[in-house]
């Protein structure tokens, strides 16, 4: 396939195509739909391998599978409405040549590509654009190939992290991988944006354990770590893959997990002392044993008919219950953890427990790719670098009760996260962060007015939190995509405009990402609302 692409044949064909294209004067508003479609298909076919016909995996709006395929990986119902812009067509690659030809033809036809692996982008950027676009839907590329001898594997971007965990556990009881808590998250977006989960304090992020990758670039070349070079390999580990190319697969190092781990879930309302325990948690959670991850989920609740706040402490400990109790008694007695609250299980069962499956659920559920209860939602993020005072926390609880509906999840940092420098990967939130906050609001009513009310609530709480969280920049986690935090220029913004969210997501790494982008994709073909901008060719500082 690479041979055919690198031969001169396509360039010759390209000239013929240009003539066809010009005579059909392509434009999306045209009623010239069938001409356009045929020309596009011709282009796609010309660039792909005859043994893997791309026409069989290309879905135009008049094919019955178009809507089901489009809808099946929409994870936020806000972007499942009839007014949401739809792709001109969808390509579901089953072979890398389908990716190559999609890139080359979209470039010719000036169409945007939205790359989707698991579709969990909180603001739908993997399948919605305001400009003419196609969706490259990677979900069928999901093979996982082990090399247990050196404790590594190759996983394709369309696998979910749940599938990855399942396949690892199938092979070994003492290996795992540090990635997200939600099993349906796609590897493609998750890894390229960082990827954290409940083993982060022990092993860092997913990207800290990625050792190679295969990417298709703007010229249709398939590159691995060696041929892409260390700058691009650096950029796609946390800089967001979709600014640089289509990442087909990742080579990861597995991490050791004990045969028995321990989990617990403890809830406290304000009346039960939640405020003091959360206050104390801030002094402990990032410094305690690095095999212990205690997340706190804080939400408005009712107790005996009265409005209150509930704090749920969810934990994973990479060790047995006795050792966990020792650690907790010594370091965090305020939670009052007792033996009966600790549950010992295998690492793979702890994955299910953390996703709220009842104890005893078969691990096969990890192979399910769809959640049964999709919602309308909005998420935002912040980093906390100094403990919030008791008075501060009381004010936050009051605000949350007043607004209602919005929850906060506190995820502790420290441990391995503090040992990795800010520049090691584009993900800069390392030493100095006690915890990350995720803001979340979800609803079920399909109405723009209702949506506006919920969006207003989460934005108000975010504003209220300003004095308590990181500033200059006020940092955000790329994988908690938030289009509120800067100018929305549809992928065509200046360096200055992009740096508003760029500094929040990447801090000082933003400039290096811009350099890599300008070198690998100077024409800014791979673009979306929050893609890394390319400096224009005349002042391209990377020109070699
Ligand atoms: C229910 C839920 C739970 C979550 N839990 C966690 C968690 O525990 N930890 C955590 O870190 N994050 C979590 N996230 C956030 C998640 O990591 C991000 O949304 C991630 O980007 C999703 O990856 P995806 O492939 O499913 O998404 P997609 O929507 O497919 O992609 C997200 C972004 O990556 C790009 N992209 C996708 N595939 C590729 C590819 N192959 N090549 C290049 N670019 C690509 C897309 O174009 C888009 O910009 C959660 C999200 C949800 C909805
Ligand atoms: C998305 O919209 C379609 C068409 O209105 C609908 O059939 C489908 O059920 C929706 N998806 C979800 C998960 O609600
Ligand atoms: C990007 O924006 C610039 C300046 O606003 C404009 O000249 C250019 O045509 C835009 N490019 C695209 C692809 O929209």
Q: Is 418's pLDDT higher than 80?
A: yes
Q: Is the peptide bond before 428 cis (omega within 30 degrees of 0)?
A: no
Q: Is 453's pLDDT higher than 80?
A: yes
The predicted pLDDT at position 167 comes to 98
Residue 246 alpha carbon, nearest atom of ligand 1: 42
Beta carbons of 309 and 269 less than 8 angstroms apart: yes
Domains of the chain: 2-137 (3.30.43.10), 144-256 (3.30.465.10), 261-345+375-474 (3.40.462.20), 495-543 (no CATH)
The residue to which tokens 């007043």 are assigned? 402
Q: Could you give the C-alpha distances from 120 to 215, 258, 404, 533, in angstroms and in order?
A: 20, 30, 25, 23
Residue 114 alpha carbon, nearest atom of ligand 1: 47
pLDDT band at 536 (very low <50, low <70, confident <90, very high): low
Residue 374 alpha carbon, nearest atom of ligand 2: 13
Q: Identify the CA nearest to 410 among candidates 512, 503, 274.
A: 274
Considering only CA atoms, which residue is closest to atom 9 of ligand 2?
71
Helices (H), 224-337: 225-235, 274-284, 321-331
**Percent above pLDDT 90 for the chain:** 85
The predicted pLDDT at position 24 comes to 36
The predicted pLDDT at position 20 comes to 36
**What number of H helices and E strands is found in the chain?**
17, 18
Considering only CA atoms, which residue is closest to atom 35 of ligand 1?
189
For a mutational test of ligand 2's pocket, the pick from 66, 69, 71, 370, i.e. the residue with the most ligand atoms closer than 8 A to its C-beta, is 71
Residues 182-187: what's their mean pLDDT?
97
Q: Identify the CA nearest to 211 among candidates 120, 159, 257, 150.
A: 150
pLDDT band at 487 (very low <50, low <70, confident <90, very high): confident
Give the ligand whose atoms come closest to the C-alpha of residue 120.
1
Report the C-alpha gap between 384 and 279 in whole angstroms: 13
424 φψ region: left (φ > 0), alpha (ψ -120 to 50), beta (else): alpha
Give the ligand whose atoms come closest to the C-alpha of residue 492.
3
The predicted pLDDT at position 486 comes to 85
Q: Could you give the C-alpha distances from 521 to 103, 189, 231, 531, 537, in angstroms and in order?
A: 12, 19, 13, 11, 11
Ligand 1 site, CB within 6 A: 75, 114-122, 125-126, 138, 157, 180-182, 185-186, 188-190, 192-197, 240-242, 246-247, 479
pLDDT band at 529 (very low <50, low <70, confident <90, very high): very high
Considering only CA atoms, which residue is closest to atom 13 of ligand 2?
374
- pLDDT (tens digit, 9 = 90+) per residue, 122-137? 999 999 999 999 999 9
Q: What is the mean pLDDT of the chain?
A: 92
Provide DSSP, 154-174: EEETTSBHHHHHHHHHHH-SS
The predicted pLDDT at position 27 comes to 42
- pLDDT (tens digit, 9 = 90+) per residue, 229-263? 999 999 999 999 999 999 999 999 999 999 999 99
- pLDDT (tens digit, 9 = 90+) per residue, 82-122? 999 999 999 999 999 999 999 999 999 999 999 999 999 99
In the sheet that 343-345 helps form, which strands lie side by side, from edge to edge? Answer: 343-345, 261-269, 306-317, 292-303, 407-412, 435-443, 376-384
The residue to which tokens 């696998």 are assigned? 159
Q: Which two tokens stand for residue 262?
A: 């321990």
Q: Is 34's pLDDT higher than 80?
A: no
Dist. CA 71 → ligand 2 center (Å): 7
Helices (H), 127-199: 161-171, 187-192
Q: Enter the DSSP assignment of 103.
A: H
The predicted pLDDT at position 35 comes to 62
Residue 82 alpha carbon, nearest atom of ligand 2: 5
Report the C-alpha gap between 53 and 531 in whole angstroms: 31
Residues 277-288: what's their mean pLDDT?
98
pLDDT band at 147 (very low <50, low <70, confident <90, very high): very high
The predicted pLDDT at position 5 comes to 39
Residues 4-11: what's their mean pLDDT?
38
Residues 202-213: what's their mean pLDDT?
98
The predicted pLDDT at position 539 comes to 44
Residues 478-491: what's their mean pLDDT?
88
Cα Dmax for the chain: 77
| Long-range contacts (CB closer than 8 Å, 24 or more residues apart) made by 431-434 | 432/385, 433/286, 433/383, 433/384, 433/385, 433/470, 434/282, 434/285, 434/286, 434/384, 434/385, 434/386, 434/387
Considering only CA atoms, which residue is closest to atom 33 of ligand 1?
189
Report the C-alpha gap between 536 and 186 in whole angstroms: 33
Residues 65-76: what's their mean pLDDT?
96
The predicted pLDDT at position 36 comes to 67
Report the C-alpha gap between 338 and 324 in whole angstroms: 10
pLDDT band at 370 (very low <50, low <70, confident <90, very high): confident
Q: Is 1's pLDDT higher than 50?
A: no
Ligand 2 site, CB within 6 A: 71, 77, 80, 374
The predicted pLDDT at position 96 comes to 97
Considering only CA atoms, which residue is closest to atom 15 of ligand 1?
479
Task: Give, to the nearest 10 degrees, the angle between helix 161-171 and helix 347-354.
Answer: 160
Provide DSSP, 260-290: -EEEEEEEEEGGGTHHHHHHHHHHHTTTS-T
């Amino acid at each position: 396939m690479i041979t055919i692409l690198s031969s001169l044949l396509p360039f010759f064909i390209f000239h013929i195509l240009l003539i066809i294209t010009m005579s059909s004067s392509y434009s999306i508003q045209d009623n010239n739909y069938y001409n356009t479609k045929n020309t596009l298909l011709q282009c796609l076919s010309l660039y792909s391998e005859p043994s893997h016909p791309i026409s069989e995996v290309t879905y135009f709006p008049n094919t019955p599978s178009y809507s089901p395929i489009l809808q099946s990986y929409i994870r936020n119902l806000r972007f499942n409405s009839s007014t949401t812009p739809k792709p001109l067509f969808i390509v579901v690659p089953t072979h890398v040549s389908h990716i190559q030809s999609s890139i080359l033809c979209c470039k010719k036809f000036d169409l945007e590509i939205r790359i989707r692996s698991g579709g969990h982008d909180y603001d739908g950027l993997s399948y919605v654009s305001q400009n003419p676009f196609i969706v490259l839907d990677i979900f069928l590329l999901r093979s996982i190939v082990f090399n247990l001898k050196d404790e590594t594997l190759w996983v394709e971007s369309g696998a979910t992290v749940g599938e990855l965990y399942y396949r690892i556990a199938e092979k070994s009881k003492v290996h795992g991988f540090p990635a997200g808590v939600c099993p349906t998250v796609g590897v493609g977006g998750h890894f390229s944006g960082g990827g954290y989960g409940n083993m982060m304090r022990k092993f860092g992020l997913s990207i800290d354990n990625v050792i190679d990758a295969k990417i298709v670039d703007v010229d249709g070349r398939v590159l691995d770590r060696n041929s892409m070079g260390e700058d691009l390999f650096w950029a796609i580990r946390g800089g967001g893959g979709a600014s640089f190319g289509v990442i087909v697969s990742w080579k990861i190092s597995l991490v050791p997990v004990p045969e028995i781990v321990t989990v617990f879930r403890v809830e406290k309302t304000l009346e039960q002392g939640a405020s003091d325990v959360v206050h104390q948690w801030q002094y402990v959670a990032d410094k305690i044993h690095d095999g212990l991850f205690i997340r706190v989920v804080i939400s408005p609740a009712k107790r005996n008919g009265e409005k209150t706040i509930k704090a749920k402490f969810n934990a994973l400990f990479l060790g047995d219950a006795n050792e966990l109790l020792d650690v907790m008694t010594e370091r965090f007695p305020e939670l009052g953890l007792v033996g009966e609250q600790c549950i010992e299980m295998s690492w793979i069962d702890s994955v299910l427990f953390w996703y709220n499956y009842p104890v005893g659920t078969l691990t096969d559920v990890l192979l399910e790719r769809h959640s049964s209860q999709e919602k309308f939602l909005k998420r935002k993020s912040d980093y906390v670098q100094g403990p919030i005072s008791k008075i501060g926390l009381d004010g936050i609880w009051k605000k949350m009760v007043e607004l209602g509906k919005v929850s906060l999840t506190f995820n502790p940092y420290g441990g391995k996260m503090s040992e990795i420098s800010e520049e090691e990967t584009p993900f800069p939130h390392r030493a100095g962060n006690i915890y990350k906050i995720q803001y979340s609001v979800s609803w079920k009513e399909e109405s723009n007015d209702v949506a506006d009310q919920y969006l207003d609530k989460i934005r108000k709480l975010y504003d209220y939190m300003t004095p308590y969280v990181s500033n200059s920049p006020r940092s955000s986690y790329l994988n908690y995509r938030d289009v509120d935090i800067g100018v929305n220029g549809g992928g065509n913004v200046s360096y200055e405009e992009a740096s508003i969210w760029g500094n929040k997501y990447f801090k000082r790494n933003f400039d290096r990402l811009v350099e890599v982008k300008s070198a690998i994709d100077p024409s800014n073909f791979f673009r979306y609302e929050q893609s890394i901008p390319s400096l224009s060719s005349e002042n391209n500082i990377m020109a070699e």
